[in-house]
């Protein structure tokens, strides 16, 4: 299961006027653990940011869903509230969920979140909409679940056939061959001893 993490990265940024400035920018990404989040941010930003950069903070972030639009790169955090009946007490309780939506203004963010949630079967309200400092979002990638050093079995078979030393477990055929060689050597020692004794 993947969670959303806000990762704050510090680096030297070149401004539009050519000046260099040390900045800290937050990025949102999907990862399994804090360690995965740190490893992934280095992978994602390694080719984008010139020079060194440091991860100065990682925090789990509760985001229910994200609505991206191509016409804007500004993210608005929208708090959505609705009533839900508690399964145990059967009493209504208020539920708050956070959504991120790309928009060019607060009004547009409100319209887009209303449109995106229009299929909900419950009445909801949007008490707050604020500009999010998130610079970029890196959603879930299938590569997150792939081990880096895993090789297909065909490649493993080629390595074995190429004569690379293979270390086998006890009880395997290779150990049996070794035991036979040791028995032959022991037999030779016994024969020499008996010859000398006679």
Residues 95 and 125 in one domain: yes
Based on the structure, what is the number of domains in the chain? 3
Q: Which domain holds residue 83?
A: 63-132
- Cα dist. 49→15, 41, 66, 155, 169 in Å? 13, 11, 25, 35, 47
Within 10 angstroms of residue 175's Cβ, the number of other Cβ atoms is 12
Instruction: Report pLDDT digits (tens) over 83-127.
Output: 887 777 778 889 999 999 999 999 999 999 999 998 888 889 999
pTM over 0.75: no
Domain endpoint, select from 13, 42, 61? 61
Higher-confidence residue of 183 and 122: namely 122
17, part of any domain: yes
* 80 within a domain of the structure (yes/no): yes
Residue 141 included in any domain: no
């Amino acid at each position: 299961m993947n969670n959303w993490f806000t990762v704050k990265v510090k680096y030297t940024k070149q401004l539009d006027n050519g000046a260099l400035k040390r900045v800290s920018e937050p990025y949102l990404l999907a990862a399994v653990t804090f360690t995965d989040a740190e490893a992934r941010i280095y992978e994602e930003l390694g080719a984008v940011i010139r020079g060194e950069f440091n991860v100065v903070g990682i925090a789990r972030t509760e985001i229910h869903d994200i609505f991206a639009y191509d016409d804007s790169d500004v993210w608005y955090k929208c708090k959505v509230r609705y009533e839900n009946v508690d399964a145990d007490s059967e009493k209504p309780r208020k539920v708050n969920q956070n959504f991120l939506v790309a928009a060019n203004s607060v009004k547009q963010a409100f319209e887009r979140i209303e449109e995106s949630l229009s299929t909900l079967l419950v009445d909801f309200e949007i008490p707050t909409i604020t500009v999010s400092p998130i610079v970029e979002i890196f959603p879930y990638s299938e590569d997150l679940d792939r081990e880096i050093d895993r090789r297909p079995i065909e490649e493993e078979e080629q390595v074995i056939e190429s004569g690379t030393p293979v270390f086998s477990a006890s009880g395997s055929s290779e150990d049996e061959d070794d035991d036979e060689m040791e028995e032959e050597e022991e037999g030779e020692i016994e024969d020499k001893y008996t010859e000398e004794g006679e």
